[in-house]
Amino acid sequence: MLLSTSRTDSQKRELIPFSTVPFAADPDFVDRPEILAWVRDKCAGAGARAALVGLGGVGKSQLAIQYAHSIRDRVASPQTFVFWVHASTRARFEEAYKDIADRLQLPGRSDPKANVLRLVSEWLRDEANGRWVMVLYNVNDVDTFFPSRKRQRDKADAGAQISQTPLATYLPQSRNGAILVTSRSKDAATRLVGGYNKTMEVLAMNEDEGLQLLRNKLRDPPVKESAVALLHALDCIPLAVAQAAAYINRRARITVAGYLKEFQRNSKKQQEAGKPAQLGRGRTMS
């Protein structure tokens, strides 16, 4: 027996648009206007898809969080549903969709035999439900959404069940919705959004942005010369900058210059020990 997601017009009107973003907006956020303008432009059209791609720590998550919160803050978009879907694994994706089904109060969702992924997908396809935007967060494995034949064969050889429908099936490209993907994998992101022209690579901050972030995060204003030197040592990676500031704030007697000396000393020890060089965020102290 098929489970219906249909609801009366009065029920639909009673459902006030909401957001499932699990993070508050960062009060220390440093605007990166070119990136956010690109996201808003790409996600404005009917059935739009776009992706932010980059290494861990470059700020994809904060940009997505800022964008997600800004949608409902804008005068033109208060009636937009905003869904945050963690997509690093199938289990996390399913968990997010179950939460959405509960928030939407979808009929049949509690039935043990219900396909909750399909219920949510059908709701998203129905233009009568209104405008929605989904952030598909942390999509790093293309096989999570598009299982390869080799992977399916490997699962079969291991005795695993392979009848699961690819998750990409449950991401409708309906006129009333838009999807923003964040990913470290350009391949996975491109497959999901449908083309390289719909992806933007997020790089490290420039010096001015990094300096503003460091100032925002530090309890006391830093000496600019020392701050700039630290930013260069950290490759202007936002996560590294935030971690360094947190370390400095926890220790009343340490300055930016003092932290930089410790950082350089530790980096030298790693090099002498033959450890491979890492990005700035991986070299911070905790």
The beta strand positions in the chain, using DSSP E, are: 48-53, 81-86, 132-137, 177-183, 199-201
Partnered with residue 199 across adjacent β-strands are 51
Non-local (6+) Cβ contacts of 73 within 8 A are none
* Long-range contacts of the stretch 260-264 (C-beta < 8 A, 24+): 260/226, 260/229, 260/230, 260/233, 263/230, 263/233, 264/233
Q: Is 70 exceeded by the pLDDT of residue 185?
A: yes
Strands ordered across the beta sheet of 199-201? 81-86, 132-137, 177-183, 48-53, 199-201
User: Which has the closest alpha carbon to 30: 71, 58, 7, 10?
Assistant: 58
pLDDT at 273: 78
pLDDT cut 90: percent of the chain above it: 77
pLDDT at 276: 53
pLDDT for 150-178, tens place per residue? Answer: 555 555 554 445 457 899 999 999 999 99
Distance CA 120, CA 115 (A): 9
Distance CA 226, CA 218 (A): 13
Q: Is 70 exceeded by the pLDDT of residue 6?
A: no
Q: Is 70 exceeded by the pLDDT of residue 84?
A: yes
| Pair of tokens at residue 52 | 């932010």
203 compared with 157, residue with greater pLDDT: 203
